[in-house]
Structure 1
Amino acid sequence: MSAVSSAEGTARAVLSARVPGSKSLTNRALLLAAAAVGTSRIRRPLVSEDTLAFRDALNVLGVPVESGPSDAYWEVTGAGGGPVVSGARLWCADAGTAARFLPPFAATGKGVFDFDASGQLRARPQLPLFEALSGIGADIASAPGGTLPARIRADGLDGGEIAVDSSMSSQYLSGLLMAAPLTRDGLLLRTARPVSRPYVDMTVALMRRFGARVTEGGDGSFAVAPGGYTATDIDIEPDASTASYVLAAAAVTGRTVRVPVLGAGSLQGDVRFVEVLERAGARVRLDRDAVEVTGTGRLRGGFAVDMGDLSDTFMTFAAIAPLADAPVTISGIGHARVKESDRIGAVAANLRAMGVEVAEGEDWITVHPGRPRAARIACHRDHRIAMAFSVLGLAVPGTVTLDDPRCVAKTFPGFHAELRRLFPQHELPYGIRDMTKEHR
């Protein structure tokens, strides 16, 4: 696509962003390949702290995961069921997907499986998942309140019918769904309006690709037949949540940024983040095999948007919202308070530290127009807070400082270097110039 005339010069050059693979797709594909009969090749996987923790856990469970040259692909040799080993100690690190997807998988095996994680992940809720697993015969002992650490004494799962509370996280439902074909009798899962529904749709689509039989009922139920999975090769798309940062940066800087491969046919609901940017005045082009955003020199506000289905990107928009010409309210995001951090509270506090007027409620935040000033950003070890405020830093005079710039390694180890490559003419947050060398 040519979007540049000679008169416009390089100011309108299309910047092609290098966005790594989707964490959500990578870890789901890892689990399904581990449960399948045969060897699956996962091409262009995300290589980050979360996916490496997941891969390492599968190795501990007796499922070999081999890396191709430069991690261009991972090959997973599944045994056609649950864990190969009869018991293991598993470290989930900071990976919520590991903590929610691996316990149901372990429960379909035999033996004693101990799960633990970082202090940050220990604080995140697990009770709805553990209660649902107990309802179909799993023997689980956990820390008070249903958090990690936890022990599962596994003897396979018969299956049956259960209800799962997915109001805090769709990962509970996804974890149970992916384990369902490994039960003896299959599983009927009932849930009422899960948050982040696009992630559940992603799970079901991938399960079907690996050969599972899943039927969705009009009442919000999912019927999954027994029978396991078949090995399948899969290409991992760029991460749509991660793409939100470079696309928002285009809107902030007036440049044009294109993310190849991530297009209209994506399995990831967060590709719809560009609709929010378009509503705020950016020009958006969503093709079959790419997405492109062009900043127009101003951001529009004066509207409310429900980002409940796009909650991993609400911080991206909230961080740049002070640059809009009227207040913006983002709602439907209450479950974001129990992620890596209280994300609503963290965004509000950091914006206030930058001199921006903010109001917040249990599941909403309103950001008023302002002139953000340079400040030290409290990342709370949350990669999405660090990346979102890095984008705002492109438009703030002076240097915005991140107190934990390295936390981006959870999903995008090369983030700072990529931001620097795309926008070398802009002042970047903290000392990102110093970190660029680490990720070359």
Structure 2
Amino acid sequence: MTPRPAPPRPLTAHVPGSKSITTRALLLAAAANGTSTLWAPLVSHDTLAFGKAVGRLGARVENSPSDQFWAVTGSGRGPTGTAVVWCADAGTAARFLPPFCATGEGVFTFDGSEQLRARPLSPLMTAMTELGAELETPVPGRLPLTVRAAGLEGGELRVDSSMSSQFLSGLLMAAPLMRHPVRADLRASVSRPYLDMTLDLMRRFGADVKEPESGVIEVRPGGYRATALVIEPDASTASYLFAAAAATEQRITVPGLCGRSIQGDLRFVEALSTMGAQVEVGDRAVTVTGTGRLRGGFDLEMGDISDTFMTLAAIAPLADAPLTLGGVRHARFKESDRVAAVTRNLRACGVRVDETEDSVTVHPGTPRPARIACHRDHRIAMAFSVLGLAARVPMVLDDPYCVTKTFPGFHQEMARLFPDYTVPERVPFSEPHDVGGHRDTRKAGER
């Protein structure tokens, strides 16, 4: 009997800290009384914009050498005074910070890039108004937004969370600073794991959070206390490296992720296991090994982990049967319409895709070289980079360095782990980027 070949030696991937945890921790630390230490934070365009924003609102953010940790000193209450806050492309800043400001006193104006201005805020604004906030905006439901703050009363939270759980997360994090207890029903919200992450972090910072019945949350006033927090590697970001391993018969380990992770997107490895990859979830690391075959022929509900649906869609053409990814309607309201963007880019690669409002079905095929429209969306750029590697065909990304939003070193790390990967050149952007509130009109070679 011929012995089975030994699995390849695992390669250790360097995955930066979770964006979702970093931004939430920045807000909670800014709201806490005292100095919190955030270890291993994500250093990217979004988190730097968020950190600068909480600094504008009165918190002190100090970076250690090499950004090993950030020390954030808060006042223990909502912001006071007057501030103009630039959110850049960071949707979390636009959705988390206005409720925080509304618990304070003063006038706070929020604005962002053209991409961020296009993203909806109506559910958040409606809920804040019902809680007593005074808001002004020249374009209903969009940035720019001015908050005339005089505190929030609290009470019953009624939020349309069908587009994004971030609206509810922002209001929940502001709840301990409101005058009266807050009660919220989470059962109709999308992306419940992100709400669970929010509540977990609130508790770590000392908030009084209870769940009297399944899916119903009560938060009492009392504020936050400073704490030290080690930020996990980003499970959403790790999905690209795990998918690349599954599709190339490589073995990739990400230390710092484990079965106790508070990130729901770690469940992405379960999808890879269903497709045939070997998955090991240990106490200190997660390892994915490609087995030489990707299975299809089934449906996957990805509503709770929709940030990773594009990763799976990108390797789905390499499966042996069609794969349907459902429950992703709310992904149409992210940095781009991600459902439409995935469909169009896969079709540009010669892959058959059936699209509905809530799902995509990707059929097996041999991808051909294509120019990928990234729509300034980091997740599109990273997902199709994986397809190019796995299918061994060149993919030209029209904006390869939009990955700096969450993983500035993505292309270099892919090349380190996968020798066949080619780091893309810095090509001209499909549209000018906003840098610090100003249009970036430099030529590509100057960036």
- Common fold by TM > 0.5: yes
Match of 1:249 in 2: 244
**What is the alpha-carbon distance in structure 2 between the residues aligned to residue 154 and residue 167 of structure 1?**
27
Cα separation, 1, equivalents of 2:119 and 2:225: 33
CA contact (8 A) 1:301 1:326 kept: yes
Which amino acid in the other structure matches residue 318 of structure 1?
A
Scaled by the length of structure 1, the TM-score of the pair is 0.94
2:82 paired with 1:75: no
Listed as ranges, the gaps of 5+ residues in structure 2 are: 428-444
Q: Deviations over 1:51-108 (max 9, x none)?
A: 000000011111000001110000011100111x411000111111101100000101
User: Which SS does the other structure have where 2:313 is aligned?
Assistant: helix
Partner of 2:422: 428
What per-residue deviation string (whole Å, max 9, x for no partner) do you get for residues 265-295 of structure 1? 0000000100000000100000111110000
Q: In structure 1, the residue corresponding to 2:364 is in which secondary structure?
A: coil
Secondary structure class of the residue paired with 1:57: helix
Task: Measure, in 2, the Cα distance between the counterparts of 1:99 and 1:395.
Answer: 36
Q: How does 1:29-178 map to 2 (within 5 A)?
A: 29-83=25-79, 85-178=80-173
2:174 pairs with one of 179, 189, 197: 179
Task: Tell me which residue corresponds to 2:368.
Answer: 373
Number of residue pairs the alignment of both structures matches: 426
| Amino acid aligned to 1:130 | M
Separation in 2, partners of 1:365, 1:429: 29
Aligned-pair distance for 1:7? 7.3
CA shift, 1:413, in A, is: 0.2
Aligned residue type for 1:44: A
Q: Distance in 1 between matches of 2:426 and 2:117?
A: 30
Q: Which residue of 2 aligns with 1:291?
A: 286
Decide which moves more: 132-141 or 213-222: 213-222
Structure 2 residue 230 is matched with structure 1 residue 235: yes
After TM superposition, the score normalised by the length of structure 2 is: 0.93
Paired residue for 1:14? 10
Compared CA separation, residues 187 and 355, structure 1 to 2 (3 A): same
2:303 aligned partner, one-letter code: G
Deviation at 1:192, TM superposition (A): 4.2
What secondary structure, in the 3-state scheme, does the structure 2 residue paired with 1:381 have? coil
Distance 2:195 2:393 in 1: 42
Read off the aligned partner of 1:152 and give its amino acid letter. Answer: V
Deviations 1:279-337 (A, max 9, x none): 00100000111110000111000000000000000000001000000000000000000
SS at match of 1:86: strand
* CA deviation map 1:81-137 (0-9, x unaligned): 111x41100011111110110000010111110010111111111011111010011
> In the aligned structure 1, how far is the partner of 2:4 from the partner of 2:414?
25
Asked if structure 2 preserves the Cα contact closer than 8 Å seen for 1:165 and 1:191, the reply is no
2:337 equivalent in structure 1: 342
TM-aligned CA deviation for residue 222 of structure 1: 1.7
Check the 8 A contact 1:417/1:432 in 2, yes or no.
Answer: no
Amino acid at match of 2:380: I
Code of the aligned partner of 1:205 = D
Matches of 1:296 and 1:7, distance apart in 2: 11
What are the Cα deviations for residues 334-366 of structure 1, in whole angstroms up to 9, with x where unaligned?
000010000010000000000000000001000
Rounded Cα–Cα distance in structure 2 between residues aligned with 1:167 and 1:59? 31
Q: Is the 8 A contact 1:398 1:427 kept in 2?
A: no
Match of 2:193 in 1: 198
Tell me the amino acid that sits aligned with residue 115 of structure 2. Answer: Q
Secondary structure at the residue paired with 1:148?
Answer: coil
**Kept in 1: contact 2:367–2:393 (CA 8 A):** no
CA distance in 2 between counterparts of 1:363 and 1:94 reads: 25
Point out where structure 1 has 5 or more consecutive residues left out of the alignment.
none
How far apart in 2 are the matches of 1:429 and 1:317? Answer: 22
Cα distance in 2 for partners of 1:13, 1:104 equals 48
Hey, what's the Cα distance between the residues in 1 that align with 2:11 and 2:381?
Answer: 22
AA at the equivalent of 2:379: R
Shift of residue 218, structure 1, vs aligned partner: 2.8
- Per-residue CA shift, 1:137-157, capped at 9, x if unaligned? 100112433111111100111
Q: What secondary structure does 1:355 align onto? A: coil
1:418 equivalent in structure 2: 413
1:149-194 deviation per Cα after TM superposition (whole angstroms, max 9, x unaligned): 1111001112122311111100011000000000111212234421
Q: Residues 219, 267 of structure 1: CA spacing in aligned structure 2 closer, same or farther, 3 A cutoff?
A: closer
Q: Which of 346, 353, 356 is the matching residue for 2:348?
A: 353
**Alignment pair present for 1:393 and 2:405:** no
Rounded to whole Å, the distance in 2 between the matches of 1:219 and 1:134 is: 27
1:24 to 20, 27, 33: 20
Deviation at residue 399 of structure 1 after TM alignment: 1.6
Please tell me whether the aligned partners of residues 245 and 252 of structure 2 are also in contact (alpha carbons under 8 angstroms): yes
**Partners of 1:311 and 1:124 in 2: CA distance:** 17
Distance change >3 Å, CA 311–CA 404, structure 1 → 2: same
Contact residue 383 and residue 407 of structure 1 kept, 8 A: yes
Cα distance between partner residues in 1 of 2:122 and 2:105: 22
Assess if the C-alpha contact under 8 Å between 2:415 and 2:423 holds in 1. no
Shift of residue 196, structure 1, vs aligned partner: 0.6
**What is residue 214 of structure 1 aligned with on the other side?**
209
Residue 288 of structure 1: SS of its match in structure 2? coil
